[in-house]
Amino acid sequence: MLINWEAFLHVFVAALVGATIVVTSYALGLRLLVRGGRPPLVAPAEFTDAITVLSDKQRRRAEKAVAKAAKKNPLSEGQKRVSLIGAYACFGVCAAAVLGALLLILFNH
């Protein structure tokens, strides 16, 4: 059995660079999204056998905290807009990296 170490190194480096691009752009996009005044509020999934399930009161409290944090934002409307554009651009880079990797896998055989 022969192992092509050069090909292995290429795949390893490509995977490392791709993972770094995806994670970094997604994290930066989330940070800019929060900075722009639109923190994501994701309601947890409720399962019948879950350990903890949020009540309606807890959910309303979380929504109120998000609204309060958005009001405290010291940025001007222009700065918020730039942050949101940057966030969407970061998410676009993340999506392009994932799509590019899928196309590379599908058509580079």
Encode the chain (109 residues) as per-residue pLDDT tens digits. 898 999 899 889 989 999 999 999 999 999 999 888 787 776 666 665 556 666 788 888 888 887 787 677 777 888 889 999 999 999 999 999 999 988 888 887 5
- What pLDDT does 55 receive? 76
Q: Please indicate, yes or no, if residue 16 is contained in any of the structural domains.
A: no
Q: Please indicate, yes or no, if residue 96 is contained in any of the structural domains.
A: yes
- Contact yes or no for 89/33 (Cβ under 8 A): no
Q: Please indicate, yes or no, if residue 14 is contained in any of the structural domains.
A: no
Q: How many structural domains does the chain have?
A: 1
Distance CA 61, CA 63 (A): 5
Contacts of 29 (CB under 8 A, 6+ apart): 86, 87, 88, 89, 90, 91, 94
- What pLDDT does 85 receive? 95
Q: Please indicate, yes or no, if residue 83 is contained in any of the structural domains.
A: yes
Candidates 78, 71, 69; CA nearest to 40 is 69
Domain that holds residue 31: 21-39+48-107
Q: Please indicate, yes or no, if residue 15 is contained in any of the structural domains.
A: no
Q: Please indicate, yes or no, if residue 73 is contained in any of the structural domains.
A: yes
Q: Please indicate, yes or no, if residue 66 is contained in any of the structural domains.
A: yes
Q: Please indicate, yes or no, if residue 7 is contained in any of the structural domains.
A: no
- What pLDDT does 98 receive? 93
- What pLDDT does 67 receive? 77
